[in-house]
Structure 1
Amino acid sequence: MTFLLGTATAAHQVEGNNTHSDFWIQENMEHTIFVEPSLDACDHYNRFEEDIRLMKEAGLNAYRFSIEWARIEPEMGKFDENEIAHYRKVLESCHENGIEPIVTMHHFSSPKWLITEGGWESEHTVAYFKNYCQYVAENLGELFTYVCTINEANMGIQLAAIIKRIKKQMESNNIQVGINMPVMKDYELQMNETTRAFDLSTGENAHTFLSQRTSFGDELIMRAHEAARDAMRAVCPHLKVGLSLSLHDLQAADDTPETIKNVEKEWQEEFLHYTPYIEKDDFLGIQNYTREIIGVDGIQKAPENAELTQMNYEYYPEALENVIRKVAESFKGELLVTENGIGTADDERRVQFIETALAGVKNCIADGIPVHGYMHWSLLDNFEWQKGYSMTFGLIAVDRQTQKRYPKRSLSVLGSYADKFA
């Protein structure tokens, strides 16, 4: 089997003018916490052929991208055939350039109508999501093999845990007010504004995908995944279906029983409790960016003098190998690295990150772990959600005024590994 080596994007972050999505509404609120709106993003919607050609020229053979639900179904129950035709062209362009498409059905952004219907805490969303995925499979399924239903299905639970930690620090006065207090206030303001924007009469927020998730919402998302998986397989039995999870390399700060227990608890919440829902999946998408060191008091700050990325993650490409090995202890299916990357203005550090991360992947394969692909995040310097365009994860720089593409050395370095995994 050919090792899939490529890169990844998310529709809302690169396509531009995703006007029917919940994120578009949030970006344009009066009191938004987004530093800037997405607008035309990287104009990938119109320039996908150029971008796919750049991947081919670099030597890559795979591309993970998302189909935007808000484009396909801009109104509940009304599907847009023109948008299906658009994504058909994207898929055909991949095949014409020898690129294996890895399709993601939901990458954070949702149709705004879904949020007015209760969003990702509503029982009805399971059926809504299944119907959308089935429609796409019926119309486009013959053009792809790998499909990831939901990107980082555990992100809402991770967000809830982060907010809980911040609140706890506030209550104990053990917090850097100048940094963290505004974040918390801005988050709560955004949720209040989101609720008003979607005109919901109940609930603490509008239940977007990146809201703080309840245990019910967590279960609902996994049920939505299962329903979509089964519906897509029924239409196209050849499909390999999975989802992706955001996973950290969890390391114990010491060997005390309490610390070990804390590490085990974090892994249970981040990964293990999802295993019953994914045991029938064909693959699992692993998404890793860094490690977390855990002590008796929980997650610690990065070590003093540690190199931090633009996102304030610790620069730690070794984390990927550790996470792959840990996941393989419990999940016995095919593994794809669906995201791994670094936000930095220094492309040489990105090159070194890629080299270290891929060395770890090769070690895992040598030990018999079924890793079948690596997708680097991201193809383009894109719209990084609330951070706007200030975070540069891309293998290709984009001039925000002209949309001209400037491939970085990291793109060709990544492509050079195609022969090494052959």
Structure 2
Amino acid sequence: MAKFEKDFLLGASTAAHQVEGNNVHSDYWLMEHMEYSQFVEPSGDAVDHYHRYEEDIRMLAEAGLNAYRFSIEWARIEPEQGKFDANEIEHYRKVIACCRKYGVEPIVTLHHFTSPAWLIRMGGWDNEEVIPLFAAYAKYVTEQLGGELNYICTINEANMRLQIHALMERFKKQMMAKMAAAKSLEAEKKPEGMEGQVQVGLNLNDPMERMKLNAMENVKVFGDPQPHTFVSAAGENGDEIVCRAHKAAKAAIKTVRPKIKVGITLSLHDMQWIEGGEEKAQKEWEEEFTHYIPYILEDDFLGLQNYTRTTYGPDGIVPVPAGTPMTQMDYENYPEALEHCIRRVHEELPEVPILVTENGIATGDDAQRCTFIEQALAGIERCIADSIPVIGYCHWSLIDNFEWQKGYALTFGLCAVDRTTQERFPKKSLKLLGSYR
């Protein structure tokens, strides 16, 4: 086993809403607590990282890791439009100081899926007003905390809204086909394998009637049956708004602290194809990655996030063959995908350093996670040997946490948690990852 160079950023990632708990001013908190919520359970106290961050950062450092990617929660910083909470800024100042105390490089993400509820009531991520509002938030955070930061990711998985749009279009088509074929309750079951086509925890198990009731509740809470949260379907206009918000935030950060390295993260699949599927695979890659190049060409790094591959045939996505090892997220267990994505990104964006900001596996078998890590990191080593500028790897995730609409059943973490006592139980995979330094 090779070890990475001393300056290589080797660490783990979390997202504020998934680990902190009680993010009461966010859109997700409200959606989780609806009577007809699409979330299988609310986030609640999560894993109480808000109060236990030092315990978790110390655990990460003692395992040998030197980087921690985490997000600052916009809804905490600006719970009401234009009103910033100095106490919450002080909290994140302490988190950053804690990282420095233990020799860990803090890699901050300014937006990781959740948004202030007031923003969504304004039209959310389909309203162009989000661009200056997000830039103002980025500027404030940088003014307050930027002196201790070297890396900022503006937006997590900026392409997620297009991925959700494509998924929902496929979902609607399959649902219509099923309902036409069988006028029964069976027609309302989710198409098999659909949730595994997007790299976020979605729940498509709800029957159509419950979805309708949820839409009615959305009107009461947000003023819109389909509120434009960050993890909702968006077309070209919504996608462009996200890209412009990134550029505006980057400009605001650089105005305050020019030396901070700023990038964005993208959710990428290893696009493969069988005979007749190359054109569809190339089209999907263009939508998932290539068309973002003009917006990220001058960034200081790209945050690359990959979990699996997708294979295309002449009729679209090819189902995973029966018997293929799968993860709890209904993804194919395919760690080789990370190397393939790194190489393809580098071909099209050769001058921009790559920071792997998420890569991991949802499994209850930590031996399987260890094997996944070994194979993924072997791919990174080969890329570095070929002079591809990979500057770091942050595993998803540091700790088992709230996987969005899927709740707490899925386990991505290098550390388990007893959520009754909030006691931490580091897994062998954490020690394994740290041994690469």
Give the TM-score band, short-chain normalised. Answer: over 0.9
- Tell me the equivalent position of 2:278: 260
SS of 1:394's equivalent in the other structure is coil
Letter in 1 for 2:294: P
Letter in 2 for 1:210: V
Residues 151-171 of structure 1: per-residue CA shift (max 9 Å, x gap):
000001101101101112233
Letter in 2 for 1:126: I
- Tell me the equivalent position of 1:92: 97
Alpha-carbon contact 1:105-1:133 (below 8 Å) kept:
yes
- Tell me the equivalent position of 2:334: 316
Distance 2:271 2:211 in 1: 26
Letter in 2 for 1:269: E
Corresponding residue pairs, total: 412
Describe how 1:112-127 pairs up with structure 2 within 5 A.
112-127=117-132
Letter in 2 for 1:365: I
Say whether 1:360 aligns with 2:365.
no
Alpha-carbon contact 2:11-2:395 (below 8 Å) kept:
yes
- Tell me the equivalent position of 1:147: 152
Call closer, same or farther: CA 1:189–1:361 in 2, change over 3 Å: farther
Say whether 1:199 aligns with 2:223.
yes
Call closer, same or farther: CA 1:279–1:306 in 2, change over 3 Å: same
Letter in 1 for 2:46: A
Letter in 2 for 1:313: Y
Alpha-carbon contact 1:289-1:317 (below 8 Å) kept:
yes
- Tell me the equivalent position of 1:275: 293
Describe how 1:61-140 pairs up with structure 2 within 5 A.
61-140=66-145
Name which of 20, 23, 33 aligns with 2:38.
33
Alpha-carbon contact 1:286-1:337 (below 8 Å) kept:
yes
- Tell me the equivalent position of 1:372: 391
- Tell me the equivalent position of 2:13: 8
Q: Normalized against structure 2, the TM-score is what?
A: 0.92
Return the offset for 1:305: 1.0
Letter in 1 for 2:408: Y
- Tell me the equivalent position of 1:179: 190
- Tell me the equivalent position of 2:238: 217
Q: Once structures 1 and 2 are overlaid, which stretch shifts more, 123-132 or 303-312? A: 303-312
Call closer, same or farther: CA 1:244–1:187 in 2, change over 3 Å: farther
Distance 1:184 1:327 in 2: 39
SS of 1:281's equivalent in the other structure is coil
Letter in 2 for 1:230: A
- Tell me the equivalent position of 2:196: none
Q: Which runs of 5+ in 2 are unaligned?
A: 1-5, 192-203
Distance 1:392 1:220 in 2: 33
Name which of 311, 319, 322 aligns with 1:301.
319
Letter in 2 for 1:252: W
Name which of 241, 248, 269 aligns with 1:227.
248
Query: What is the alpha-carbon root mean square deviation over aligned residues?
Result: 1.5
Residues 210-267 of structure 1: per-residue CA shift (max 9 Å, x gap):
111121110000000000001101100111000000000010122x3xx211111010
- Tell me the equivalent position of 1:334: 353
Name which of 365, 376, 394 aligns with 2:413.
394
Alpha-carbon contact 1:11-1:65 (below 8 Å) kept:
yes
Q: How high is the sequence identity, in percent, across the aligned residues? A: 58
Distance 1:376 1:19 in 2: 27
SS of 1:148's equivalent in the other structure is strand
Residues 170-221 of structure 1: per-residue CA shift (max 9 Å, x gap):
3333898433374573556544432331124xxx511011111121110000
- Tell me the equivalent position of 2:200: none
Distance 1:141 1:189 in 2: 44
Say whether 1:24 aligns with 2:35.
no
Distance 2:213 2:162 in 1: 20
Say whether 1:404 aligns with 2:423.
yes
Alpha-carbon contact 2:175-2:190 (below 8 Å) kept:
no
Distance 1:345 1:182 in 2: 22
Return the offset for 1:302: 1.3
Return the offset for 1:415: 0.3
Distance 2:260 2:121 in 1: 32
Letter in 2 for 1:395: L
Letter in 2 for 1:384: E
Call closer, same or farther: CA 1:192–1:359 in 2, change over 3 Å: farther
SS of 1:179's equivalent in the other structure is coil
Alpha-carbon contact 1:163-1:184 (below 8 Å) kept:
no
Call closer, same or farther: CA 1:326–1:184 in 2, change over 3 Å: farther
